[in-house]
Amino acid sequence: MTTDLDQLRQNLVASIDAATGLDALEAIRVQALGKQGAITGLLKTLGGMSPDERQAQGPRIHGLREAVTGALAARKDALEKAALDARLAGEKLDMTLPVDGVPAGSVHPVSQVMDELAEIFADLGFAVASGPEIEDDWHNFTALNIPETHPARAMHDTFYLAGEHERPMVLRTHTSPVQIRTMMANKPPIRIIAPGRVYRSDSDATHTPMFHQIEGLVIDKGITLGHLKWTLETFLKAFFERDDIVLRLRPSYFPFTEPSAEVDVGFTWTNGKRVIGGSGDAAGGGWMEVLGSGMVHRKVIEAAGLDPTEWQGFAFGTGVDRLAMLKYGMDDLRPFFDGDLRWLKHYGFSALDVPTLSGGVGA
């Protein structure tokens, strides 16, 4: 019996120490200590022994059980620690490695153009303002002189949000609600641009349901259309990095400006491509619409809580994606938002090429 127990202990401890995984270890535990296990069987024999025999064997069998339980626990610890070490080693990232061969990120043309615009307008004394993309219909429409029955609401292909709200909620269809928010939150004089995402239910080669606009707003005393035209001309010259930008202001209609003007820039066909610059009336030329603009309607100034006899101003809005397409030569808008790495690599900008006026904004 003595040698049997010693032998059993040796065998069990040896196989426990040799177990290479938690499953194998569990199988050994069941073999020894499970309901049908060898040690469990030995413990059961204690009941049938004479008191003397039990006194001699009891401590031995219990000692065996303790030794095996201890060996199992120690091996389990060691295996778990080894598994964790292996996992940590496998997931290790060497942050000091050069990123050779790994595709580096690039700045999306939309971000690049927004940075360029912020740089150009900062130089003209404009601050950058923002507003929420989930907007209420009062800011998006009503305060901009687009009452509920106005056909412009249908023209905007608005996404309305489901559910009960104090005011109907929409995904903003343009950046113009930032005009209202800015006038309500700040005292004039005001000079801001507001770049951001806007949403319309529309999709083809030149429209995506989400796109980007930039709004401009100036509120001061004695502001005229002349200030508007000068500002847009200065902006477009800096943006396209050419002095021969020619603008054409066409009478138009927006509910929130009066008078309203659509702004075209002249281009010439060069090697089958439109190149911005020169008069659109020149031979081989044409006009391209780039902006909506006008003098801020007095009802809009009033809705924002200002006195329109005291304060006047101009506003303009344009598509950032469209400006990017014109400047950097893409002809399809949809890949802008496909996340295709090949497109991003081709059209993206280095993160280190921060646009500056002195370096040329399109650095």
Q: How many Cβ atoms are within 10 Å of 228's Cβ, its own excluded?
A: 24
Residue 258 is labelled as binding a ligand: yes
Nearer to ligand PHE (CB atom), residue 29 or residue 322: 322
Scanning residues 173 to 192, which ones bind ligand PHE (CB under 6 A)? 174, 176
Residue 292 within binding range of ligand PHE, rule CB under 6 A: yes
Which is nearer to ligand PHE, 121 or 349 (by Cβ)?
121
The single residue among 126, 239, 254, 349 that binds ligand PHE, judged by CB under 6 A, is: 254
CA 338 – CA 203 distance, rounded (Å): 14
Segment interacting with ligand PHE, rule: CB under 6 A, options 106-114, 314-322, 324-332, 347-355: 314-322
Q: Which is nearer to ligand PHE, 211 or 349 (CB)?
A: 211
Establish if 317 lies at the interface with ligand PHE (CB under 6 A). yes
Residue nearest to ligand PHE (CB): 317
The tokens of 112 are what? 């690049």
| Cβ proximity to ligand PHE, 12 vs 144, nearer residue | 144
CB of 269 to ligand PHE, least distance (A): 27
**Tokens encoding 204:** 């083809």
Nearer to ligand PHE, 316 or 336 (CB): 316
Backbone φ and ψ of 308, nearest 5°: -70, -15
Contact residue for ligand PHE among 316, 336, 347, 349 (CB under 6 A): 316
Q: Work out how close the CB of 227 gets to ligand PHE at its nearest, in angstroms, rounded to a whole number.
A: 14
- Please check whether residue 126 is in contact with residue 191, taking contact to mean a CB–CB distance below 8 angstroms: yes
* Nearer to ligand PHE among residue 188 and residue 292 (C-beta): 292
CB 125 to ligand PHE: min, Å: 19
Q: Which residues from 321-350 bind ligand PHE, rule CB under 6 A?
A: none
Of 44-52, 103-111, 159-167, 313-321, which segment contacts ligand PHE by CB under 6 A?
Answer: 313-321
Q: Would you count residue 312 as binding ligand PHE (CB under 6 A)?
A: no
| Site size for ligand PHE (CB under 6 A) | 11
Q: 215, 176 in Cβ contact below 8 A?
A: yes
Q: Is 267 a residue that touches ligand PHE (CB under 6 A)?
A: no
The piece of 49-57, 114-122, 268-276, 289-297 that touches ligand PHE (CB under 6 A) is 289-297
Residues 207-226 that bind ligand PHE (CB under 6 A): 215
Question: Residues within the annotated binding site for Mg(2+)?
Answer: 258
Footprint on this chain of ligand PHE (rule: CB under 6 A): 174, 176, 215, 254, 257, 292-294, 315-317
Question: Residues within the annotated binding site?
Answer: 258
